């Protein structure tokens, strides 16, 4: 008898979660209430216990997948006799009886890629045709627009055919490769190819060295190889100390004083000499970078984009922040930053100039009675824009908490597709990188984006006197098809007024 393992109730208003970690593998015996996996939502971590005793069969939602409430996670074969040897093929590929040494053919398929994601690019094959592999050993890595997906071997055996080579685009559910499985092959696998051996492993100097019990994520191995760092320089945060891709990014950031010899992310122009060619390295763009490039160019080609500028005196905001930041942190447990002031000011201005919060749909203009604020965030893999929903109805501390949480999830690569969709307006803060002035590009189908910049002391004429004030340039890029110059300038002036006199926000003026 087979029992389904489903996503439990996640809490009020929480409709989806991300599969963080599986504690069991297909074919392993489980007891009643033994923890099978862990899910992560926007606010909490949820553990999923086994509803029955038996053997874990098919895992339907792999680590990193986004799942809704009551979605199918896995299946369990009930009963004492359900348990299978560790080398047996899991339920996903073991409908046939145990094979002989000749081996049975097993297809390696593209796993579920996530909501609204229909295709991926084969990034790296860790095994070659003819290599022996163990069950659940990583075969290849796929890249989607937002995340990397690792594809494990569905059975122990030998990789006999690769149908989708590196660089090829594959659809969800497509066939990647073919394996030959069987008891004889599995035995050969154990002696010839220990788990964890990939093309990115450093060759051992001799025999008999200790093997690591926990296999690091292949994406992490690839990142370490590209950055020129070893595993002992990285602290793993995955299950049993497994090193994940985000752990490598954190280690690289911590060791910024000794930058790694990474290659440029864009293809250089044709070299002018053979000597130059030997000093260049061409690196294929990631799916995320390709998507960013395509969307930004589409935005320029589609929208009648124009940018208007102003400057804001940050004296009052800085004074208010300095006066209350300690009390704010003590009460709410989060730091009071400038982003909550800018978010509030933008929400205030959007109510007066609703066309900046609207979008074009064919020949219609869709006005929004809400503000889903996108906050652009730089990550090790590229720019992402997590969305804070109903920001216009949130308090200062709720906005700061949401920005801090989504910013951390963005840097760790744990944002779901849903968390980056549905924004109505965007704020981009180039000032954190030292930018003094820039023109942000629209995030379609939005009609407006505000660019923040560096706060710099400048001499200003105030009441006939030259005084030094902390000034920031503001830039509003807007779609001139639906936003006129008057509306854009009015929006920017209202933001300026609210920041130069924050009491206007409290009085709704």
Instruction: Examine the fold and report which residue of 16, 49, 84 is the final residue of a domain before the chain moves on.
Output: 84
| pTM for the model | 0.48
CB 365 within 8 A of CB 482: yes
| 62: in domain | yes
Contact (Cβ atoms closer than 8 angstroms) between residue 3 and residue 78 = yes
- Burial of 274-310, coded b for 16+ CB within 10 Å and e otherwise, reads eeeeeeeeeeeebbbbeebeeeeeebeeebebebbee
Q: Does residue 114 lie in a domain region?
A: no
* pLDDT at residue 417, as a whole number: 74
* Rg over CA atoms, the chain: 27
CB atoms within 10 A of CB 431: 18
In a domain, 237, yes or no: no
**Which residues are bridge partners to 475 per DSSP?**
309, 451
Among 457, 480, 501, 508, the active-site one is: 480
| Residues 436, 437, 440: CA angle, nearest 5 degrees | 130
Burial class (CB in 10 A: 0-12, 13-18, 19+), 338: middle
What is the per-residue DSSP string for 408-465? HHHHTT---GGGGS--SEEEEEGGGGT-SS--PPP-TT-SEEEEE---EEEEEEETTE
CB 55, CB 29: distance < 8 Å: yes
Report yes or no on 369 lying in a domain: yes
Pull the structure tokens for residue 501: 């006199």
Total structural domains in the chain? 2
Residue in 4, 70, 390, 484 annotated catalytic? 484
42 token code pair: 């926007």
Tokens of 343: 């978010």
Annotated catalytic residue 484: yes
Q: Would the CA dihedral through 133, 135, 137, 142 be positive or negative?
A: positive
Q: Measured at the alpha carbon of residue 20, what is the angle toward residues 15 and 25, in degrees to the nearest 5?
A: 120
Q: How far apart are CA 295 and CA 318, in angstroms?
A: 35
Rounded-to-integer distance, Cα 96 and Cα 92, Å:
11
Q: What is the pLDDT of residue 207?
A: 41
Block means of pLDDT (10 residues each) for the chain, 509 residues, are: 84 74 88 85 76 88 85 82 40 38 76 72 87 87 75 88 88 87 50 42 40 60 71 72 74 59 47 70 75 76 89 94 92 91 94 93 91 87 85 92 88 79 91 87 90 94 94 95 93 95 79
Distance in angstroms (rounded) separating the CA atoms of residues 106 and 162: 12
> Is residue 424 in some structural domain?
yes
How far apart, in whole angstroms, are the C-alpha atoms of residue 473 and residue 143?
37
Last residue in a domain, options 40, 67, 84: 84
Say if strands 29-30 and 54-59 run parallel, antiparallel, or are unpaired. antiparallel
Q: What is the CATH number of the domain that holds 80?
A: 2.40.50.100
Looking at residue 281, its pLDDT comes to: 80
Task: Respond yes or no: is residue 480 known to be catalytic.
Answer: yes
- Measured N-to-C along each axis, helices 339-352 and 485-500 cross at an angle, to the nearest 10 degrees, of 140
Tokens of 54: 């038996």
Residue 112 lies in a domain: no
The owner of tokens 């899991």 is 90
Nearest to 388 by CA among 41, 378, 398, 379: 398
> What pLDDT does residue 414 have?
79
Q: Which two tokens stand for residue 488?
A: 């854009």
Q: What is the DSSP letter of 171?
A: E
From 84, 101, 116, the end of a domain falls on: 84
Distance of alpha carbon 434 from alpha carbon 454, whole angstroms: 6
CA atoms within 13 A on the CB side of 135: 24
pLDDT value at residue 115: 55
Q: Residue 489 is part of a domain; what is its CATH number?
A: 3.30.559.10
Domain, as residue range, for 440: 303-507
CA distances from 425 to 6, 98, 355, 478 (A): 36, 57, 11, 10
């Amino acid at each position: 008898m087979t029992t389904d393992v489903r996503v439990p109730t996640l809490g009020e208003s929480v409709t989806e979660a991300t599969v963080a970690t599986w504690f069991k593998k297909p074919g392993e015996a489980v007891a009643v209430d033994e923890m099978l996996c862990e899910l992560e939502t926007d606010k909490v971590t949820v553990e999923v216990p086994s509803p029955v005793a038996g053997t874990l069969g098919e895992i339907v939602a792999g680590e990193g997948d986004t799942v809704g409430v009551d979605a199918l996670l896995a299946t369990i074969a009930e009963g004492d006799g359900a348990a299978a040897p560790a080398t047996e093929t899991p339920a996903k590929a073991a409908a046939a009886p145990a094979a002989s040494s000749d081996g049975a053919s097993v297809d390696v398929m593209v796993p579920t890629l996530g909501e609204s994601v229909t295709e991926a690019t084969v990034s790296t094959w860790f095994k070659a045709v003819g290599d022996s592999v163990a069950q659940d050993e990583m075969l290849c890595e796929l890249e989607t627009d937002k995340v990397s997906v690792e594809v494990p071997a569905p059975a122990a055996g030998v990789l006999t055919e690769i149908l989708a080579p590196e660089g090829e685009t594959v659809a969800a559910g497509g066939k990647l490769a073919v394996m030959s499985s069987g008891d004889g092959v599995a035995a050969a696998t154990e002696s010839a190819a220990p788990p964890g051996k990939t093309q990115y492993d450093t060759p051992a100097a001799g025999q008999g060295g200790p093997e690591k019990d926990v296999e690091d994520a292949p994406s992490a191995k690839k990142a370490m190889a590209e950055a020129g760092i070893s595993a002992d320089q990285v602290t793993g945060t995955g299950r049993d100390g497994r090193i994940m891709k985000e752990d490598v990014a954190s280690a690289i950031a911590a060791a910024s004083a000794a930058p790694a010899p990474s290659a440029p992310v864009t293809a250089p122009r044709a070299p002018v000499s053979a000597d130059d060619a030997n000093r260049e390295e061409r690196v294929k763009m990631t799916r995320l970078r390709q998507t960013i490039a395509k969307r930004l160019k589409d935005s320029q080609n589609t929208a009648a984009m124009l940018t208007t500028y102003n400057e804001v005196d940050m004296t009052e905001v800085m004074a208010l922040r300095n006066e209350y930041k300690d009390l704010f942190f003590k009460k709410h447990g989060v730091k009071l930053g400038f982003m909550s002031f800018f978010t509030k000011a933008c929400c205030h201005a959007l109510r007066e100039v609703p066309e900046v919060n609207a979008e074009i749909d064919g020949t219609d203009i869709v006005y929004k009675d809400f503000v889903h604020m996108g906050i652009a965030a730089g990550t090790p893999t590229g720019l992402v824009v997590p969305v804070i929903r109903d920001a216009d109805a949130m308090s200062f501390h709720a906005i700061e908490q949401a920005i801090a949480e989504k910013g951390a999830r963005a840097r760790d690569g744990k944002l779901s597709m849903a968390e980056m969709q549905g924004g109505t307006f965007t704020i981009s803060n180039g000032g954190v990188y030292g930018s003094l002035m820039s023109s942000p590009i629209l995030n379609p189908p939005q009609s407006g984006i505000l660019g923040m910049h560096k706060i710099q002391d400048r001499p200003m004429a105030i009441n006939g006197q030259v005084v030094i004030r902390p000034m920031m340039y503001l830039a509003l890029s807007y779609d001139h098809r639906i936003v006129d110059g008057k509306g854009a300038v009015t929006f920017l002036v209202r933001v300026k007024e609210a920041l130069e006199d924050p009491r206007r926000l409290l009085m709704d003026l």
